[in-house]
Structure 1
Amino acid sequence: MSETNPPTTTWRKSSHSGGGGGQCVEVAALTSAVGIRDSKNPAFGHLTVRAEDFHTLITRIKHGELDHP
């Protein structure tokens, strides 16, 4: 899925990211999907996923389903 980055796009990063310069991603509500990008390299572009798939990803993360053993 591909979607351009509208000029009014607001990218957000988790408040849990802190200011330590760690590995963070930013997300944005796009016209018909969710954008995900590297906060350190926003010029590299972003991934675009359906909102339903993003919700599933967040739910699985919150339930620890994607934790490394």
Structure 2
Amino acid sequence: MAPDSAWHKSSYSGGSGDSCVEAADVTATHGGIGVRDSKDPQGPALLFTPTEWTSFVALLRTGTADFGTV
């Protein structure tokens, strides 16, 4: 989906680095934001539209995300 240099690890990944989420702006090539598991960089990635990504991040920041309903 994107070269390794385009992916950015979450600042909440912790010191051990073994439970990490990475995101890449692939708007130019795929029309959105890619999200992958850093332990499996060649594995599947999710693709969010810019609007979906903005909403997702806003929910995380406010603490109102309810992942039990996903």
TM-score, length-scaled by structure 1: 0.76
Match of 1:53 in 2: 52
Taking only the aligned residue pairs, the percentage that are identical comes to 34
Counterparts in 2 of 1:18 and 1:50: CA distance versus 1, 3 Å: same
Going from structure 1 to structure 2, the CA distance change for 1:17 and 1:7 (only over 3 Å counts) comes to closer
CA RMSD of aligned residues (A): 2.1
From the superposition, tell whether residues 6 and 66 of structure 1 become closer, same or farther in structure 2 (CA, over 3 Å).
Answer: closer
| Partner SS, residue 66 of structure 1 | coil
Instruction: Specify the alignment match of 1:43 in structure 2.
Output: 42
Match of 2:6 among 10, 15, 36: 10
Point out where structure 1 has 5 or more consecutive residues left out of the alignment. none
| 3-state DSSP of counterpart to 1:65 | coil
- Higher helix content, 1 or 2: 2
Higher relative contact order (CA 8 A, sep 6+): 1
Runs of 4+ in 1 over 3 A off after TM superposition: 6-9
- Consecutive unaligned residues of structure 2, counting only runs of 5 or more, are none
